[in-house]
Amino acid sequence: MKYYVMAEKAEADGTIIYKNSHSMTALKTGSFLVDYENDDEKGEPFVGPLICKIDDEHVDGKMSTFFMSPAIIGTKQFYNDLLEIGIENIEVHPVIIRDEVNSRIFDDYLLLNIIGRVSCANMSSSEYETLGDDMNIIDQLVLDSSKVHNLDLFLVHEDTDCIVISEKVYSHLVGKGYTDIYFEALKLV
């Protein structure tokens, strides 16, 4: 089976968003989201909406199909396209994106928390930088095929900014005509 990394395609005229709520919540864990806003060590289940703000210098930019920062945030249509092919390992919460300069609100986006974090990077073959204990930025991901287990959508444990999709998901999304999503075929060893 072939696998691809999927990412937000950086557009010169694109929009940048920042998180305005849930400041203590890690949003790319591969597990169900836990909110630590109330200083509770155990945390509480995440309750949306996630509030985001468009960077004031990019308010007239193109809105992406999905954003990778501050979390995986996608349009409702993008989420429906994933559901259409049986992708069910996503915890979903509403998102409100505010453009404070033009007094606009975008409410057709969802927080798409991917449930599934797989330790599958072959680090000796991948190109990456280490920022500290268990903090890697993988530039060229190589997968260990024995650890992928025919999954269709998951985060890579070694760098949770790496979203991996199967050929089935890739073909479906390409067939939908998305032009603002970056895909790259991955090498497996």
| Residue 136 bridge partners (DSSP) | 130
Q: What is the pTM (predicted TM-score) of this model? A: 0.91
CA gap 34, 22 in Å, rounded: 10
Consecutive 10-residue runs of the chain (189 residues): their mean pLDDT? 93 90 89 78 86 94 94 98 98 97 96 96 88 83 92 94 96 97 96
Q: What total of structural domains would you count in the chain? A: 1
- Peptide bond before residue 45 is cis, with ω within 30 degrees of 0: no
C-alpha distances out from residue 91 to 45, 99, 117, Å: 11, 25, 13
**Residue 149 belongs to what domain range?**
3-188
Residues 6+ apart with CB under 8 A from 174: 183
